[in-house]
Structure 1
Amino acid sequence: MSRVYAHYCLRNPDLPQDSVQYYMDKSTEIASRYKEADMMVYNQLWYCDLLFSKGRLQEALPLTRQSLFDATRIGNSNLVINALFLLTGIYESNPKKALEYLYQAYEVAQKSGDSSIEIYILHSALEVAKQLGDKDEIIKVYSDLDKSITADWEKSKEFIKDYVEYNAVQDQNKLLSEKNAQRALWLLIISISAAMIVLAIYLIMLRRDRRAKARIEALNDVANMQIMTMEEAKHQAVKEEQQRLGQDLHDGLSSSIAAIRYQLETLMMDTSDIELKKRLTMLQKQVEGAYKAARNKSHEWFSAADGEQEQSFEKQIILLTDSSLPDSRYSKNIHIDNSSLSGVDMDTRIALLRIIQEAITNIIKHAKAKNVGILIYEEDDNLLLIINDDGIGLHEKKVNVGRATIGLKSIHRRIQYLNGEIRINSDARGTEIMVSIPLEKS
């Protein structure tokens, strides 16, 4: 998503300035959240280039140097070269300084082994050297350019030689294959016949095995969902009991202690006995400590109940994925932002759990996937649920609500009940389900 935002700005140069700033801020925010250092430096260089194009060189210079330092630190040669080229443009009025940056970019390109970039950099350096008017520098650049072009030509010749030899070997192999084709024909027919018989027997056994496994998995799913429902009820009861105890403690004991404290203060004001006042002062401090302890404990029970609810929901998702998607067949990537679940009611949590269950069922039945990802986070007062896989994708007709499978129709109904929105992107590389549910502002 960070790259999508950045590339959208690059491919639409007519965007207004406020839109450009918005999309680049979103790109940088996502890259920072997932610690994508390369993308953060890329965005920073893009912003430097924008400042340079507007003639704001004093602002662009320190930011470009910082980008060069960051790109060197993470070891990205392309970003290093881009930063050095930008510095060359900033020092356009100082050809000697610009030439130094071009030499640095040439050294980086040499280490990366990209001869085409070497030649491009040296052509730029030649123009700067001519502008500088230094014959020694011009001769040096010509010499390096000749070496790079010669090396690139040698690589090209070596490639052509290998390509010709490869084609010769291919022709020989083709002739040999034609000679062996007739000999292998009868052997192939016999092998195919035997394989068909074995395959038919295997498919019959596999069909019976799948039926048995499907029944077992259905029973396991029902049992797991019953356990999850009981866990939800248990955590809800614990939360309500803790909140009730906290409320009783706050309204009952804390109020009584406050009344005692007030009476002690009244006695201290009414008495003139110094010794009695000292004792009353000590007693007042002890009562004050008891009052703070009772108040803190009531607040602690209130907050602890919410924490257990988030932990329970995350455990349920992990239990659901582990039981349905075994590690031997699937690679799972699950990220849940617990802070986004604070204040989400139980009905919404159960609906989310059912949506995830239906999506996983579709993945198991139809997707033939190996990697599954689940992401839950909050953005712009909306709770976002993203489920993706790298399977064969859905048929175009099944994406539409009218022709969707039973599982997808169930997901649409649950999202409609929550006043949410769903978007399904599917192609041969996999399927992504994006669910957005509005959150009530507290």
Structure 2
Amino acid sequence: MGFHTNNLKIFAVFILLSTVFACHEKSDNVIYEKKVSTGKLDATFAWLDKEENYAKANYMPVFYDYYQKILNKDIGQAAHVLEVVCSKKARARSFDKKFVNTINTFSNRYRSKIPVKKTLFINSYFTTLYNDKGDYKTAISYALKTVSTEVTDYDSCRDIAYAYCDLSFCNFNIGNQDLAIKYNMQALTYFKKINHINGIGAVYNSLAGIYYTANNYPEAEKYYDKAIDCFKKAKDLDNVFIALYNKAAIYSNDNNKNLNALVESTYNYFNSSGSKSKDTKISVYTSYISSLLRQEKLKEAKKIIDEIEPVVREVNSTQTNMEFDVIVADYKLKNNEPIDTEKIRNTVIPYLVENQNYQRLKIYYLILKDDAVKRGDYKTAYEYEINLVNVSLDIGNEANSDKVIELDKKYQNAEKEKKIVTQERTIAKKNSTIAWLAFSILAALVIIVVYQSRQKQKKLKNEKQTAQTYTRQLLEKTEEERKRIASDLHDSVSHELLSLKNMFDEKTSVTNTKIDAIINDIRSISRNLHPVMFDKIGLKDSIRQLVDRAQSVNNFMITAEMDYEYDLTSSVELQIYRIIQEAISNIIKYANAIASKITISESKNKIHIEIKDNGQGFDVDETLNSSAAFGLHNIIERSRAIGGEAKIFSDKNGTIITIEIKKQ
């Protein structure tokens, strides 16, 4: 049972290693997994990290106090907490001077002392800051710094993906639609590498905006719906509302009858969601105010304006301020109230032109045109219409629409081709893996077979050695018993017979002859049981005595040639003597031979023994399988017991027995 268990363990380990090697092949489509932090955050850091605490009045004081305490102790921890707060401040579009100075100071003093990937959040924060200001060129410069870094893990891949989103947004606002869609697709690629559903939704939301600007409303709506699905899966309600707000803009331009219903449902959904995002609240509320204005519900619109204005002033973001100012201007136009056109012409328009913020510029030209129409100044209104058309042509004319569609299709085709190539590579790798596993299994089976064979050989060898040891010990015990019996016969019985012979008073020749014959028989039996003086004279002289005795007793010629000097143990030499004795006895009894020859020689590693006769021969296999082969089996087993091997060859010309014994 243990033997088979070991084989299974070897097989399992081999297959496991094969699978591991196969699964560790490099893939072009690297997926970065988000690492869950196993360390325990201290209480203050954990409090700062919780989203719901950001709205509390003591959030920033707690942060500054904590940050100053750890700054000189652990720069890495200080960077980490800065990253957490930066993320929340950027999301809330909060860019107060004190915090911006804190980030700048940290960047100037400590940024070079920690890994680049740990400071990418600084680029992200300033990208968002200058995006909010409408300074897209500066925002682009920060985002480009981020995308130029190497992707090494989940966090760096996420930061680079969002930087590409920022690049797309900036280029979209300054009219570079080709770059906008290019960067969007790069962002999508990186978000897919980390399976970042929220980021993928952000890309779809941006693509929808590009299609909307290109006046391709069906495609824009399709991408907004895809973005909303992603945001819902990610449970990011704030972005769900932003996407719904953007989708409402499509319905507005497309005169969709469901527009007002969509806006109102979004407004109600936000208020019931419990969202604390002030930035999102401003966008949802301004969209709802716009819907009320379209329906000429001016009182309701004014009520919502008054409700949201304190939030706008609290956030004090360039983007949200402009967004609110536009909706207030729209309300004033519909309510026949004057608007500050001088501020728009002399401050807002030059600022937007300088920063190439064509999307926002188009909105303000529309406000100025509507104001001029209200005042009956059609010449000025016409001039603003021309400006409006020129801006619209820059960012959303038919050529641009075709270009966006073309770029999108190119990307989609490239993605399909990439997927096909990836699938082909995957299939090839799978085939390679299958082939490797098949080879591994085959190799494992070969190893098991070889292992089993070796174990079997080892077992047989052990059994053979055990049998040899047992046989040798049995023969040694037998020889000891023979020696004892021979000694008793020679020393006791022979002496007793001699004493008996000398005791007879009347000695007759017959009596003497009989007693002498008995004594000679006993001596012969004694010599056969154990050769006299063997331990003293050794193998060669004992064999010579055996040969002389065989020739003298039998009408038979036998010779012996012995070229042997190797010093075998006495017990091994005695077994060789017994083998030769048994062979001579068989020749005399059964061979009907005239002559026989015994040869003992030695080589570097072996002792060679040959016993040859010119007798009548016999069938070796038949004889060995019969009950009359005790003598031959005796020769074979004695040879094995001393580490040798006996071979018997016989035909009508005689018999040859060869024995080879390894030198120890």
Same fold (TM over 0.5): no
Question: Bigger relative contact order, structure 1 or 2, given CA contacts below 8 A and separation 6+?
Answer: 2
Rg larger in structure: 2
- TM-score, structure 2 normalization: 0.21
- TM-score, structure 1 normalization: 0.31
